[in-house]
Structure 1
Amino acid sequence: MASPEPPSTPKRTRPTISTPHRRTNSASHASPIDFKPKSPAARRMSMTSTSQSASLTPQTFAERATENEQLVLAGLVSSLMLSGILYSLVFSSSLNTSEIHHHSLPNRAAYFARKSNIFNVIFVKRAWGWTSFLYLLHLFTTPSIPSNINTGPGSRARRLDVWVLATLAWLLFTSWFFGAGLGDRIIALTGGNCAVPLPTGVDLRKAREIFPSLFTAGESTRNIQLAATTSKIYVPLPGQFCSGKPLNANTFPELFSLIPDLSSTLKATSNHESLQALPRPRWHKGFDISGHSFLLTLSVLVLGRELSQTWKSWAASSVIRRRSIKQDQGIQSITHKWSGVAATGLVAIWCWMILMTAVYFHNPPEKLSGLVLGLATSYLINILIPPSSSPSPFNPISAPNSAFSRPSSGIGGIFDENAARRGGVVDDGVILEDVAESSGEEHDLVNKGKTMGKRIRDKAE
């Protein structure tokens, strides 16, 4: 005998229980997002693992380049230098500027072969000043990260130390290396002579008696009287006059005794060369390491290291639309943004002038030695103060590189997993706590659960 069936509930009064975020299609097409864990801790763990899995995607070329910016920039600078040297050899466009007479040649036809070109006058002659200004402006306008402001590879103190070391290297080469600068010392040790041209109208017989070693440059004749009509005559000087010691009647009276009229009417000044009794002394021959090659190479690599995080954020924003977070758009943020743009433009100018130096100035060994010295200085700085970017020959201390990207937590480049579990949001390498949103979401879920339970009880009754 069949048991009686219980009375059925009318269809209109039967409660309907719906599961939020559940799809109506087959379970085989379900997404991890469809199933949300119940407890807040489980939800945070699920969000962390999902974000980490989503981040393990192949990197684009721009991302790979910005994570290895030191290696990329070193390769770029070396390629420009080698290309320029090859061009100068094929077309004989370069002057051997270690020969003193080349400093008095008239302007050449090519605009960038002239020392009076606008980039050389405005930028290259003040190269380290421009580099330092934009480096420090970008450094001190960087948004503060409390956990990373005083420690870590990307801290302001360590980035400031990079600039200090680079500045010391520049001073050692140009101004002081236990006396004269390193560049001047190398010229003197390799047979270079400091010299200055005699002005016209000087009694050559008397000059020959005082200075038996007068010489001409760029002329095959050894007859001083004949050479005086076709080229300049030079007086050899002690090396310190090419290393910063002022040349005047008090420091070298023998020379100024030859030009009494000029010395009485003209006074030496470094600001107006046309008013000087004599031009600035220069080195003749010797091995003259290209100061432009050294300084511009060092400037490119040091600025590139400072701009690496800015370039990474630009590369990431161009391929990934990250979670939008309102950020401060005050004067500091705007200044930091535009200082990055200006410094990037300066890097481009330095690269162009490296190419022009390779094409028009110095001989190949001097240009290559300046390039190698700049690369070696940057390498040494990166060993003493390791950068936070991926490894390269200029960053040998970092961990091995990976072909996949992973969110980082600020300038130091370390992913804070605990912060992500607490609801941290990764945005352009900075973890920001979104506590209000996290707590608000939990509160909404609790309210929805209470409301649903109340409706079920009311319909059941």
Structure 2
Amino acid sequence: MATRRQTTKIEVPIPSIANGTNSATVKVPDKLDSPPPGNSPFLPTVLEIVLLAIYPGTLLLGSLFNVLHPSTRNATYIAHYQAYDPAEAPSYFAKKGNFFNVYFVKIGWFWTTLAFVALILTHPSLGPPLKPALTRRRLQAAVRYVCITAVWVAVTQWFFGPPIVDRSFRWTGGKCETILSDSAASQAEKADMGEVERAFTHAACKAIGGQWRGGHDISGHVFILILGSAMLWLELLPAVLKMEGLREARRILTPDGLVRSAAVETDAKEGGASDEKPKEAAVGLRVALVVASMSWWMLLMTAAYFHTWFEKFTGLLVAFGAIYIVYFLPRALPVWRQVVGMPGV
């Protein structure tokens, strides 16, 4: 009968160094104590880079279509209107009054919010589905949403007065100009309202019958479509992919100064989150996927028919800046990570 071979753990002494120090034992460092191979905690993973690259790729594709396609080359583009002449618009989507622009893009943050709430209330990795349990993951997801929403408000709605898009337009030489009219009533109305120059926002300028001209206008459509859909995709990834695989791919800087896999921040702190997917989870995932997909399509239409290439590019940069601060910077800043967390961790 064969005997069972037993292994024995041996500590190997290291010979004394010339200075006369005592011998020490060899210690094999734990794999979590050494920096793992891969990207920096300041950088996205390969999968995230591919995902984010879709946005500039979409803008490039739409812009090339705008330049090369005969339907857009031969149509009249009105620069201050930031769109084509409605009478000869090259496509239904080139009209500002198209159904999807009015009822999806113009109120885009409503749909983004709806999708986000559906996701965090139904997916079991965040907490008990359809139950008002305030788990750590749900709370941090809500903080991320509030941060992104605050950026949306500051850029497009209000920033201690006019929003950033209107302030930047004024800073770059833009102003509200009077539309000439032969109507005596119209001229009298303009005389009563004072100087058109006092209109510091695009909405106010339009309301008094003026036109926003002369400055650089950051594309609000590009900004909101990228900001909202990128937030949904980055929240979706841990839900549609294997949680452990995604954690292993991401790198974080821990408070002890080491670069580690995000897997070290385990679910032990959560106390009850589950990765199993009941039927309720599919509802939130589908709503988020529909909104994110619609946002991509309207981004392509915006790239093809509205704004100049530079206006679209600055809209992309502002959206990416906000996404980086909320979703990527926490990996390298432990204190910030304690506040906003990371999806799936």
Same fold? TM cut 0.5: yes
Q: Hey, what does 2:234 align to over in structure 1? A: 305
Does structure 2 conserve the Cα–Cα contact (< 8 Å) formed by 1:97 and 1:103?
yes
The SS at the match of 2:87 is coil
Tell me the C-alpha RMSD between the 2 structures. Answer: 4.0
Is 1:295 equivalent to 2:221 in the alignment? no
Aligned equivalents of 2:88, 2:110: Cα separation in 1: 26
Aligned-partner Cα distance in 2 for 1:105–1:197: 18
Is the 1:111–1:117 contact (alpha carbons within 8 Å) kept by the matching residues of 2?
Answer: yes
Q: Using a 3 Å threshold, how does the CA distance of structure 1 residues 86 and 102 change in structure 2: closer, same or farther?
A: closer
The TM-score with structure 1 as length reference comes to 0.48
Match of 2:64 in 1: 86
Matched-pair contact (CA < 8 Å) for 1:162–1:385: no
> Is contact 2:173–2:214 with CA below 8 Å preserved after alignment?
yes
Q: 2:50 maps to what in 1?
A: 72
Aligned equivalents of 1:101, 1:312: Cα separation in 2: 40
Which residues of structure 2 form unaligned runs of 5+? 1-43, 246-274, 335-342
- How far off its partner does 1:166 sit? 0.6
TM-score by length of 2: 0.63
Letter in 2 for 1:240: F
State the distance in 1 between where 2:242 and 2:317 align: 30
Aligned equivalents of 1:385, 1:149: Cα separation in 2: 22
Cα distance per residue 1:401-421 (max 9 Å; x no partner): xxxxxxxxx932xxxxxxxxx
Which residue is 1:193 aligned to? 175
Structure 1 match to 2:146: 164
What amino acid is the match of 2:120? L
- Find out whether 1:368 has 2:313 as its counterpart: yes
Does residue 113 (structure 1) correspond to residue 94 (structure 2)? The answer is: yes
Q: Which residue of 2 aligns with 1:342?
A: 287
Q: How does 1:376-391 map to 2 (within 5 A)?
A: 376-386=321-331
CA displacement, residues 132-183 of structure 1 (integer Å, 9 cap, x when unaligned): 111011112222559x9744xxx11111111111100000001222321000
1:355 and 2:295 aligned: no
**What is the CA distance between 1:71 and its match in structure 2?**
2.0
After superposition, residues 123-162 of structure 1 pair within 5 angstroms as: 123-143=104-124, 150-151=135-136, 155-162=137-144
Q: How many residues align?
A: 258
Alignment of 1:238 with 2:220, yes or no, is no
Cα offset for 1:96? 6.0
* Alignment partners' CA distance in 2, 1:359 and 1:103: 11
Partners of 1:341 and 1:135 in 2: CA distance = 11
Matches within 5 A, 1:303-342: 303-313=232-242, 333-342=278-287
Moved more, 130-139 or 95-104: 95-104
Q: What one-letter code is carried by the residue in structure 1 that aligns with 2:344? A: I
**1:418-443 Cα distance to aligned partner (Å, 9 max, x none):** xxxxxxxxxxxxxxxxxxxxxxxxxx
The alignment-based identity, stated in percent, is 27
User: Which residue in 2 is equivalent to 1:411?
Assistant: 344
Offset, 1:301: 1.1
1:183 aligns with 2:143: no
Cα distance 1:123–1:112, how it changes in 2: closer, same or farther (>3 A)?
same
Check conservation: 2:156, 2:164, Cα contact below 8 A. Answer: yes
Distance across 2 between alignment mates of 1:184 and 1:157: 33
